[in-house]
């Protein structure tokens, strides 16, 4: 049921349909090079690129699976969330590999 957080009340069908529109939000993928290996970078996706100049750290979730891939065109390694691999490297769509393997592009 559509709900107004501000009013703490349900919305009617009419209210829920008001001002509804699809919008495109800015989003970018940014690379963060490892200090210990400048040829390897973490990739991070954000919808708030204006906050990047103030970023002091990059957080990862130990519960999620990350993969390291080699971009042969750029000659660089990237570490990213496994689920994001087909979005960043479309050539990986539909490819399968065993857990623990690093799929190299």
Count structural domains, the chain. Answer: 1
Instruction: Say which CATH number the domain at 33 has.
Output: 3.90.740.10
Give the pLDDT confidence score for residue 105 in this predicted structure.
42
| Residue 1 included in any domain | no
Question: Residue 92 sits in which domain range?
Answer: 25-105
Q: Which residues of the chain have pLDDT under 70?
A: 15-17, 20, 91-105
Residue 14 located in a structural domain: no
Q: Helices (DSSP H) in the chain: which residue ranges? A: 13-17, 85-88
Whether 57 is in a domain gets the answer yes
pLDDT of residue 16: 67
CB 103 within 8 A of CB 93: no
**Gap between the Cα atoms of 103 and 96, Å rounded:** 9
Whole-Å CA distances, 87 to 1, 6, 8, 37, 44: 32, 35, 37, 24, 12
């Amino acid at each position: 049921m559509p709900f107004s957080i501000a009013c703490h009340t349900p919305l009617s069908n009419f209210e829920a349909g008001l001002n509804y529109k699809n919008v495109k939000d800015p989003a970018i993928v940014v690379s963060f090079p490892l200090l210990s290996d400048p040829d390897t970078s973490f990739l991070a996706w954000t919808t708030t690129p204006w906050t990047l100049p103030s970023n002091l750290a990059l957080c990862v979730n130990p519960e999620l699976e990350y993969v390291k891939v080699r971009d042969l065109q750029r000659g660089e390694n990237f570490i990213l969330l496994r689920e994001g691999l087909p979005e960043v490297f479309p050539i990986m769509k539909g490819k399968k590999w065993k857990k623990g393997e690093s799929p190299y592009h």
